[in-house]
Structure 1
Amino acid sequence: METQLELARQNRVTPLMQRVAEDENMAVEQIVRQVAAGRIVIPNNPGRSGQKVVGIGTGLRTKVNASIGTSSDICDIALEVEKTRVAEAEGADTLMELSAAGDLDAVRRAVIHSTSLPVGNVPLYQAFHDTIRKTGDPTRMDPEYLFDLIEKQLADGLSFMAIHCGVNRYTIERLRRQKFRYGGLASKGGTFMVAWMEKTGRENPLYEQFDRVCGIMKKYDAVLSLGNGIRAGAIHDSHDRAQVAEMVINCELAEIGRDAGCQMMVEGPGHVPMDEIQGNIMLEKRMSGNAPYYVLGPIPADTGAGLDHITAAVGAASSARYGADLICYITPAEHLALPNAEDVRQGVRATRLAARIGDISKYPERRETEKMAALARRDMQWQDLESLLMFPEEARRIRDSRAPEKAETCTMCGDFCAMKKGMALFAQDIGGDKQAPGRSTAAQGGGA
């Protein structure tokens, strides 16, 4: 089977490319060129029917990923299915199933069957989980079992995988020479792989046999997302030598994988101060040949726990603005607890809004909906405004809970409504595109 990347290089338009073009309102020829160049990926395992088609990459709307999964403290398949459904209902574009406890095969299959979103995972989680259950010692993991597991999980219908290929002995040495870190290691998969290499004295098999990883991924036309196992867990560790070493390696691997015909993404940092976000994205794009960039947050402060969906949304808006292509949400529970369904809801909403803010800065030509919303708000056309909002049900709930005495206003200002007074003063001066379509000047000034 040929991958979307290989087909695009033959200038062949596939149904997936056509659908991405339609969804993004772009010429299909442009999508084909960008897929062929490795600047757009389409995670869509052909072995799983009924998936949502999602394009990720240059020129496209910034996408949002939601992550769910069990832990050793909370392991409930029904809860994970509920979180999956909430994530899809709230508008997530992709889903990562990151369970680390329980019957991982059963959890993964239940999640895949409960959503139409492209689903990804981190295969190292199950590799180490199963090794611990079998031997009691994660450092006894058999690399052959890891490769077999990657294929087994892909056969279940996964469309992308975060695989920690860039964690190697060179990156570990950088951690030692810089006297470790303020925030320690933040990646579960990355940390367990470091422990395995330290105990065995061997190189990371995912790095050492990278061509084998790509070969398995190609069989399922799955996107290989190069995991960020040495990402910073504190802003004071951002862009330290260990993180940058892994980033350089991952960008090289993205080029190697792309040359082999495998769809590739690079994963980005966790905690990054605001002033470094633009530079981080510039480095990834330049070093990887503009491979799609999948970022976690980023989180630009270390003191927002409890509201880190907001902390991360601030970083995500800037990240989207400067070229990130897929953003993994952060929930209010980040750093504190396993997310519940409401945490998932709030995380997806905050990240979608952040991506929208970044996109309308990155793509000024896509601001028409913002203009129409402003006109509807100005003219106090509440139903029109609601239809244009990202979260109409939430807006309606708030307005209905504090209904105004006069229906055309809201209880923020009441009789002192600035919009109403402004229309009374300037209704006869409105013209051109400042007159909302379908509403006359007289109607706009009505009731004033």
Structure 2
Amino acid sequence: MSTQMERAKNGVITTEMRTVADKEGLSSEEIRLRVTAGSIVIPANHNHTSLSPEGVGLGLKTKINVNLGISPECANLESELAKVRMALDMKAEAIMDLSNYGKTIEFRHRLIEMSPAMIGSVPMYDALGYLDKKLEDITPQEFLAVVEQHARDGVDFVTIHAGINKETAQHFRQTSRVTNIVSRGGSLLYAWMELTGQENPFYEYFDDLLDICTKYDVTISLGDACRPGSIADATDGAQISELIVMGELTQRAWRRNVQVMIEGPGHVPLHEVVTNVQLAKKLCHGAPFYILGPLVTDIAPGYDHITSAIGGALAASAGADFLCYVTPAEHLRLPTLDDVREGIVAVKLAAHAGDIAKGIPGAAEWDRKMSQARQDLNWEAMFGLALDRGKPERYRKESSPEHQDSCTMCGEMCSMRLMNRIMDK
């Protein structure tokens, strides 16, 4: 079977393109043209039969991703599946399986079977446990075999840190960083390169990786191994040198009709967020930009869902296409169910704020309906329009006013109530 990009280039409008067009309110032909150009991707593995396809990229609604997965410290498969169900209930468009321990295949199979959302993974995380080898004993062919296992299972996109080659690593060594390499996959590959003296296998054997992606129509999400882990390290030489390599790999993938996303930085001061989006779009030829956060300050452990939402809203307004959620537990622990909910709400707020700024059709209309419901003092309509209905409904019940056409904040001095009475005369 051919890939979405190959069929788009051949003038074919696929079922997935039609589905995306219907969701976005655009023509199928416009979707096809943007898939051809690489400015949008439709991650849709042939083996993910429960998928409801989504488009990510230029002119489309900003999508969100939720990270989940089992680890050595928290290997409870059922608790992670509960988070999956919550993410799906809250309409997350993507879930990334970051499992790195235990029943990774079982978890991935159940996730893909139940999920209409697109599924991503980082095969590098799974390699050590899957192969049961020391890092330095793993061969390039074995790394690729793990990628193919994920693709065969039905993963729609894979994060591959192919941009940290020997040249990029040299730039990193010459850069005095506060937090070195904070990407888990990137640090593993850098360590493998240092231990073996070999080139990054995903860079050296990139054509073999493209063979796998072509076979299953898996989208490559080019991971940013050198993303900054502190605002002091943002937009430095290591990050930019890797971004240049990612741009070269993007064009190589497109020539093979493999769809590509570019992953973006983690910690970026507010005044550099727009610059980072523009650099990624320019150096990577307009490929969709998938960004973690960015977190605009380093001082708020326990509240990083807020710091990332600030950066995410600005990034989305500047053209970022896909936001990865950050939970209050970031840097501290594996997130609980409540942490996941808080993270999803924060990132959805950021995505929606960005969509308003980008002029995405229908985005501002949602806000207009909420404003009208507020003016009408229509509480049920407000709850129905709320991003997360449960919390405002609970607040209203916990503090019930004497008059139902007001709240306990203003009571009889409610401006909406007063203006409705005066304007209705």
Report the TM range for the smaller structure's normalisation.
Answer: over 0.9
Q: Which runs of 4+ in 1 moved over 6 A?
A: none
Match for residue 405 of structure 1?
402
Q: TM-score, normalised by structure 1?
A: 0.92
- Where does residue 194 of structure 1 map in the other structure? 190
- Structure 1 stretch 101-110 or stretch 138-147: which is displaced more? 101-110
Runs (5+) with no aligned partner, structure 1: 429-448
Structure 2 CA distance for aligned equivalents of residues 77 and 142 of structure 1: 29
Please list every run of 5 or more consecutive structure 2 residues that lacks an aligned counterpart in the other structure: none
Q: Name 2:223's counterpart in structure 1.
A: 227
* Contact 1:81 1:114 (C-alpha < 8 Å) held by counterparts: no
**For the residues of structure 1 that align with 2:167 and 2:396, how far apart are their CA atoms?**
57
TM-score of the superposed pair, with normalisation by structure 2: 0.97
- SS of alignment partner, residue 48 of structure 1: coil
Name 1:338's counterpart in structure 2. Answer: 334
1:160 equivalent among 135, 140, 157: 157
Matched AA of 1:255: Q
Within-5 A mapping of 1:355-374:
355-363=351-359, 366=362, 367-374=364-371
Q: Which residue of 1 aligns with 2:372?
A: 375
Residue pair 1:84, 1:114 contacting (<8 A) in 2 also: no
Secondary structure, aligned partner of 1:96? strand
Corresponding residue for 1:124? 124
Contact 2:60-2:360 within 8 A present in 1 as well? no
In 2, the alpha carbon distance for the partners of 1:11 and 1:114 equals 32
Q: 1:396 aligns with which of 361, 376, 393?
A: 393
Deviation, structure 1 residue 212: 1.2
Of the three residues 130, 143, 148, the one matched with 1:146 is 143
Aligned partner of 1:323 in structure 2 is 319
- Asked if 1:416 is matched to 2:416, the reply is no
Residue aligned with 2:424, SS: helix
Aligned-pair Cα RMSD in Å = 1.3
Are residues 415 and 360 of structure 1, via their aligned partners in 2, closer, same or farther at CA, if it must alter by over 3 Å?
same
The one-letter amino acid paired with 1:343 is D
CA contact (8 A) 1:268 1:295 kept: yes
Q: CA deviation at 1:365?
A: 5.0
**Cα offset for 1:285?**
1.0
Counterpart for residue 439 of structure 1: none
SS in 2 for 1:330: coil
Match of 1:182 in 2: 178
Name which of 152, 164, 169 aligns with 2:166: 169
Kindly indicate whether residue 93 of structure 2 is the aligned counterpart of residue 97 of structure 1.
no
Q: Secondary structure at the match of 1:277?
A: helix
Aligned sequence identity (%): 38
The residue number in structure 2 matching 1:445 is none
Q: CA deviation at 1:20?
A: 0.3
Conserved? CA contact 1:77–1:110, under 8 Å: no
1:386 aligns with 2:383: yes
Read off the aligned partner of 1:298 and give its amino acid letter.
P
Residue 203 of structure 2, aligned match among 195, 201, 207: 207
Deviation at 1:397, TM superposition (A): 1.7
Q: 1:300 aligns with which of 272, 276, 296?
A: 296
C-alpha distance in structure 2 between counterparts of 1:272 and 1:392, whole Å? 32
The letter for the 1-side match of 2:208 is R
Q: 2:283 aligns with which of 284, 287, 295?
A: 287
* Structure 1 residues 83-111: Cα deviation after superposition (integer angstroms, max 9, x where no partner): 11111112211000001121322222232
Task: Give the drift of 1:401.
Answer: 1.6
How far has the Cα of 1:362 moved from its partner? 1.1
Q: Distance between the aligned counterparts of 1:397 and 1:412, measured in 2?
A: 15
Report if aligned partners of 1:128, 1:192 keep a CA contact under 8 Å in 2: no
On the 8 A contact 1:250/1:266 being kept in 2, the answer is yes
**2:424 aligns to what?**
427
Once the two structures are TM-superposed, the CA of residue 48 in structure 1 deviates from its matched residue by 2.1
Report the equivalent of 2:350: 354
Kept after mapping to 1: 8 A contact 2:48/2:113: no
Structure 2 vs 1, CA of residues 385 and 130 (structure 1 numbering), >3 Å: closer, same or farther? closer
Q: Deviations over 1:167-205 (max 9, x none)?
A: 1111111121123x1122211110010001011111001
Q: Amino acid of the residue matched to residue 305 of structure 1?
A: P
Task: State whether residues 24 and 61 of structure 1, in contact with CA within 8 Å, keep that contact through their aligned partners in structure 2.
Answer: yes
Distance in 2 between the 1:390 and 1:101 partners?
34
**Are the counterparts in 1 of residues 39 and 288 from structure 2 also a CA contact under 8 Å?**
yes
Measured in 2, the distance between the counterparts of 1:178 and 1:154 equals 35
Say which SS state the counterpart of residue 221 (structure 2) adopts: strand
User: More displaced, 382-391 or 190-199?
Assistant: 382-391
CA contact (8 A) 2:227 2:264 kept: yes
Separation in structure 2 between the aligned mates of residue 57 and residue 294 of structure 1, nearest angstrom: 9
1:364 deviates by 6.4
2:64 corresponds to which residue?
64
> Which residue identity does 1:195 align to in structure 2?
A
Aligned residue number for residue 25 of structure 1: 25
Paired residue total: 424
**2:67 partner SS:** strand
